[in-house]
Amino acid sequence: MFVHAHPDDESSKGAATMAKLADQGYRVSVVTLTDGSAGEILNPKMDRPGVAERMPEVRRQELARALDVIGVTDHFWLGYRDSGFVEDFDGDGSVLAGDAFYNMDRDRVVRDLVEIVRSTRPEVIVTYPEDGGYPHPDHLRCHDVSVEAYHAAGDAARYPDAGEPHEPLKLYYTNVLSRRRVETLHAACEERGIESPLQRFLDRLDPDEPDPNTTHVEVGAWIERRSQALLAHATQVDPDGMWFRIPEDLIREVYPYEDFQLAHARVTTALPEHSLFEGILPDTAASSA
């Protein structure tokens, strides 16, 4: 089960891994926490009358197309109000709308997630790292509620009206721009004379900070599906934008992986991993992700 903050996050964070798992017969669930209503039109071709006025509806339609491309089994739309991005957000929810997702009662959201976990009974949950991947209020809160739900779902004393307890076996954080990925792809672009879109991300990396990623899933055959899923979010993704400057064949050649950080496990596994299911016995991992 992959828990995401907004429509389009499922396509930019782990989509190729989800497509691979779906093709292998695993059950793949996606939870979308907010309605994406604060999203701006980032693709100039979609900046036309009637689009911005219907942003929540449009983004939900885009999401449905992306989920179909990926092959997601189950989708859960919680539809809380998008909090919007705040520059240098310091955790002060008073700068946001009162009914923004970030300001929602945390216990209420955790219960929503626990009920979904108990109904779908995944072995693996994937969400964002503590810093949200980037400091968007909804990404930060997504981390908080997902981690709490992971631990609460198996506790019969918590939310007794939310279904039969179920204890997921592993919790992962998704890391889109890991150091190894950024450095490898940037170097490959320079070698081939391609303008790299990754220099600004490379400049932000602390060379002394350890790479937290533990798990590298090979997804070369599913990179095109990831691109198609991204392009389904036509208001948010410019096909001529930076994310498509690196050719897919180059990615498949030098870094055909999606990276994850194992945050918690109730099974024994050896690092580094190459699958989200390492350490989980085949009979217990037969149908969920």
Residue 16 has pLDDT above 70, yes or no: yes
pLDDT for 234 equals 97
Q: Is residue 289 part of a domain?
A: no
Q: Is the pLDDT of residue 288 over 70?
A: no
Cβ neighbours, 10 Å, residue 95:
14
pLDDT digits (tens, 9 = 90+) for 70-97: 999 999 999 999 999 999 999 999 999 9
Predicted confidence at residue 282, as pLDDT, reads 63
Does 274 map to a domain?
A: no
Q: Quick: pLDDT tens for 110-149.
A: 999 999 999 999 999 999 999 998 899 999 999 999 999 9
User: Using an 8 Å Cβ cutoff, are 29 and 120 in contact?
Assistant: yes
Nearest to 56 by CA among 33, 79, 30: 79
pLDDT digits (tens, 9 = 90+) for 219-236: 999 999 999 999 999 999
What pLDDT sits at residue 176? 77
> Which residues form the domain of 88?
2-265
Instruction: Answer yes or no: is 286 within a domain.
Output: no
Query: Is the residue at 282 inside a domain?
Result: no
Question: 225 in a domain, yes or no?
Answer: yes
Tell me the CATH number at 38: 3.40.50.10320
With respect to residue 285, please indicate whether it lies within any of the assigned structural domains.
no
In tens, the pLDDT along 159-168 reads: 999 999 999 9
